[in-house]
Amino acid sequence: MPWLPPAGGTAVFENEPAFQGRRIFKERCEGCHRGTERKGPELVAGYNSRAWLRDYLMDPDGARFFGLTKGIPGMKPVKFRGAELDALVEMLYAESGGAGAHTAKVEAGKKIFDTGPCSDCHSRDGTTTGEEGPNLGGRGGKAWLVAMIADASEPRLFGEKNEMPKFKEKLRPDEIDKVAEFVAGLRGAEK
């Protein structure tokens, strides 16, 4: 069959970027982010969806999120409910590059974030460092995920509270990019 690569039929899949990202995640990340023995936030189908973000804001120290870490717990559940909570969720969803974000809700979420207690610990400009929590500019988007995977101890991310290995010392930049693409794609994956 002339359309098959010289390496054989499975090479069609093995050369596909999503396959590579999934494989690297399984080998290098899954132990800490999936299953009963994990040490960090759960990264499964639906990660960064509106439902995931809502659940996180309601219980950030829960076992699905940062409750299993040693140095990161401490964020209290948000007190906002109803339209205010919906707006914060939509703002975070938009930061992550979520498709179809509702513009008016995003703007309302920014206002709630900037004038409420969220901004006491977080910035959302993508550059400010040294705050209590990570900078949320682009949070959950591919570039943000690349930075997290490469070095989550970066000052604009988790700084000294970080417990995740620096994968920039363990993976090539193209591999980090593929893992970030895979993790970003979990939003639309079926559970």
pLDDT digits (tens, 9 = 90+) for 15-61: 666 799 999 999 999 999 999 899 999 999 999 999 999 999 999 99
pLDDT at 12 over 90: no
pLDDT at 188 over 90: no
pLDDT at residue 189, rounded to an integer: 77
In a domain, 40, yes or no: yes
pLDDT at 74 over 90: no
- Find the domain containing 107 and state its range: 11-185
In a domain, 166, yes or no: yes
Task: Provide the pLDDT confidence category of residue 71 given band limits of 50, 70 and 90.
Answer: confident
In a domain, 3, yes or no: no
- Count of alpha carbons within 13 Å of 135, Cβ hemisphere only? 19
pLDDT of 113-146, one tens digit each?
999 999 999 999 999 998 999 999 999 999 999 9
In a domain, 79, yes or no: yes
In a domain, 158, yes or no: yes
Mean pLDDT of 66-72: 84
In a domain, 25, yes or no: yes
- How many structural domains are present in the chain? 1
pLDDT at 177 over 90: yes
pLDDT at 73 over 90: no
pLDDT at residue 126, rounded to an integer: 95
